[in-house]
Structure 1
Amino acid sequence: MFRIAAIVLAVAAVIVALSTFTVDERERVIVFSLGEIKRVDPEPGLHLKFPIVNNVRKFDARVLTLDIPPDRFLTSEAKNVIVDFYAKWRIDDVGQFFRATRGDERNAQERMTQILRDGMRNEFAKYTLEEVVSGERITIMGAVRQQALDTAAELGVVLVDVRIRRMDLPDEVSESVFARMRAERERIAQDFRARGREEGERIRARADRDRTVIIANAYRDAERIRGEGDAGAAATFAEAYEQDEEFFAFYRSLLAYRNTMAGPENVFVLEPDSQFFRYFRDPLGNQARAGD
């Protein structure tokens, strides 16, 4: 009796298993009836089906990553660029996805890869190498995604995003680009040096001019002060001479004696009654003046 009950329960369990299926929120489901699509995307939960007549295919509804092998693309200058990029996609219309790809995810990925490569090739051909490297990649990725949206919809999928993982230049192109960059930086450096030399010459010329002006003004002021001093000295001597002509003559003679006889080897050949020695003969110099 126990054995019969166990067999009945086992058979019932098999029938229930063949007659029900569950739908997860992370899945897209198609229910077939004798090979034809009967239901698409039933609600998450437990559902019934007819054994043998109905069968169920489940697909991942999450966002998937499509890794595309690096490929070469030509810029508008006919320069090669090696681009490694990927795409994010998910199944949007599971019925259309099955009809377009027979439910083969690999087939869908191959077709999307070809679509994205074609779009990438078309977009890179619009830009120069410098524009691609300097920051146009975001624009390129947006354009590639926009162009692929309609074709992806025919496959029942939605293209969430397209991103460049890495972008390299072939060795020959890299050397050419680096040489051009070096030449450009050298040109900029030479321009800065030339402008620096020009500014230096301008500063030196201005400094020389200011120096010349300052020296000329100083010389002018010095000559003016010297002239004023000489004039003051002459006026003082004249005033002193007018006050005591005899003392002034004596004082000037003493200065002449001191200046001419300052050296130990000074030799003079003069007549004894020379005007130069009048104060030696007479302290008042009267005899000298009387003989003049």
Structure 2
Amino acid sequence: MNKSVFILPVIVILIAAILSSIFIVDEREKVLVLRFGRVVQTIDEPGLNFRIPLMDQVVTYDDRIISIDMAAQEVIPSDDRRLIVDAFARYRIVNLERIRQATGAGGDQAIAIADQRLENILNAETRTVLGEVTSGDILSTDRDALMLRIRNAAIAEASALGIEVIDVRLKRTDLPSQNLERTFERMVSERQREAEDERARGREAATRITALADRTVVELESDASREAQIVQGEADASRNAVFAQAYGQDTEFFEFYRSLEAYREGLATGNARLVMTPPEDFFDYLRSPNGNVAE
């Protein structure tokens, strides 16, 4: 009876000691085993493990990819055009001893400290890299090379924390609010200047086309007038030749025909008045009863 009183507590203590010496590493974690604050074991694989109770301390670290959102910061590119840059990064813990030395903590507290230090590193590298290029390069859609440069520059410093920077991405690059209005006004002025240049070129082209058209019209009118005068001269010459031929064949008839033309023009209906003496030659054919010239 007395032995059972002593054995039962011993058994309980042994079971408790065995249970406290067993710990399980999750597949999403990595573990450091510390003995009196000194690292004695690093466990990277999931499974069942053992420790010395009361002597060993198990510190867990996240083995997954961790994302951090960096606070928006102002950068000054090489063309002195201020920009607000918002970025994020992804990293993974790769060296448990280094992150333990750098942060002096484990679990979520270690991640919080690592996030803050990595953000400081990335902010400095972002200002350095983006300060070497123009704002046009930063605002363009093809900026993968810039993000790769920031990542590569941060890898060396981040390795001292026991972490590996996997990726850095620029989420947003905008102008500061105080510069938006000036930028908009400058854009409007540039568009107005371009529009005025286009209008000036249009007026110049219109003037050139109008001058060419006017010259073409003058040339066409001149050619037409010259051809008309040639045709009219040829017609007059032909008419005079006909008249001359007719006059040569019958002189009296030709004189009679010309007198009738003169009567028609001179005695046409209108306000015209003829004042002359009766013996005038103009009425020779009118005074003759036979239509001949009066003798």
- State the TM-score, normalized to the length of structure 2: 0.83
Structure 1 Cα separation of the partners of residues 44 and 161 of structure 2:
20
Structure 2 equivalent of residue 192 of structure 1 = 198
Q: CA deviation at 1:41?
A: 3.4
Q: Please name the residue that 1:38 is paired with.
A: 40
1:25 partner letter = E
Shift of the 17–200 alpha-carbon distance from structure 1 to 2, 3 Å rule, reads: farther
| Residue matched to 1:146 | 152
In 2, distance between residues paired with 1:143 and 1:26? 30
Query: Residues of 2 paired with 1:278 and 1:70: CA distance?
Result: 119
The match for 1:250 is: 256
Q: RMSD of the TM alignment (CA)?
A: 3.0
**Equivalent residue for 2:237, pick from 198, 215, 231:** 231
Instruction: Give the drift of 1:14.
Output: 5.2
Superposition deviation, residue 207 in structure 1 = 1.0
Q: Deviations along 1:36-82, whole A, 9 cap, x unmatched?
A: 32332332333344444444322222221111222223334555432
AA of the residue aligned to 2:58: V
- Counterpart in the other structure of 1:62: 64
What secondary structure does 2:273 align onto? coil
With over 3 angstroms needed to count, the CA separation of the structure-2 counterparts of 1:41 and 1:212, relative to structure 1, is farther
Count how many residue pairs are aligned between Structure 1 and Structure 2: 285
Cα separation, partners in 2 of 1:74 and 1:249, compared to 1, 3 Å: same
SS of the residue 1:255 aligns to? helix
Query: Mean Cα displacement is larger for which, 32-41 or 99-108?
Result: 32-41
Question: 8 Å contact 1:79–1:173 — kept in the other structure?
Answer: no
Answer whether contact 1:76 1:126 (CA < 8 A) is retained.
yes
- Pick one of 71, 77, 92 that aligns with 1:90: 92
For 1:101, the equivalent position in structure 2 comes to 103
C-alpha distance 20-36 of structure 1, shift in aligned 2 (>3 A): same
Change (3 A) 1:267 1:113: closer
Distance 1:11 1:229 in 2: 145
Gaps of 5+ in 1: 1-6
Q: CA deviation at 1:109?
A: 0.9
Q: Distance in 1 between matches of 2:271 and 2:200?
A: 66
SS of the residue corresponding to residue 225 of structure 2 reads helix
2:285–2:293 CA contact under 8 A, matched in 1? no
Q: Helix, strand or coil: the match of 2:100?
A: helix
In structure 1, what is the equivalent of residue 6 of structure 2? none
CA distance in 1, matches of 2:273, 2:185: 87
Structure 2 counterpart of 1:263: 269
SS of the counterpart of 2:240?
Answer: helix
Deviation at 1:134, TM superposition (A): 4.4
Letter in 1 for 2:67: T
More moved, 99-108 vs 165-174:
165-174
TM-score, scaled to structure 1: 0.83
CA distance in 2, matches of 1:184, 1:115: 39
Shift of 1:199: 1.1
Give me the whole-angstrom Cα distance separating, in 2, the residues matched to 1:22 and 1:146: 36
Cα 1:50–1:42 change in 2 (3 A) is: farther
Structure 2 residue ranges without an equivalent (≥5): 1-8
Shift, 1:135, TM fit: 5.6
SS at match of 2:91: strand
Matched, 1:241 2:243: no
Retained in 1: the 8 A contact 2:92–2:166? yes
Counting only pairs closer than 5 Å after superposition, residues 110-129 of structure 1 correspond to structure 2 as 110-129=116-135
Give the Å deviation of 1:150: 0.2
Moved over 6 A (4+): 7-13
- Letter paired with 2:242: T
Cα distance between partner residues in 1 of 2:145 and 2:136: 14
Preserved contact between residue 41 and residue 94 of structure 1 (Cα < 8 Å): no
User: Alpha carbons of 1:277 and 1:85: their partners in 2 closer, same or farther (altered >3 Å)?
Assistant: same
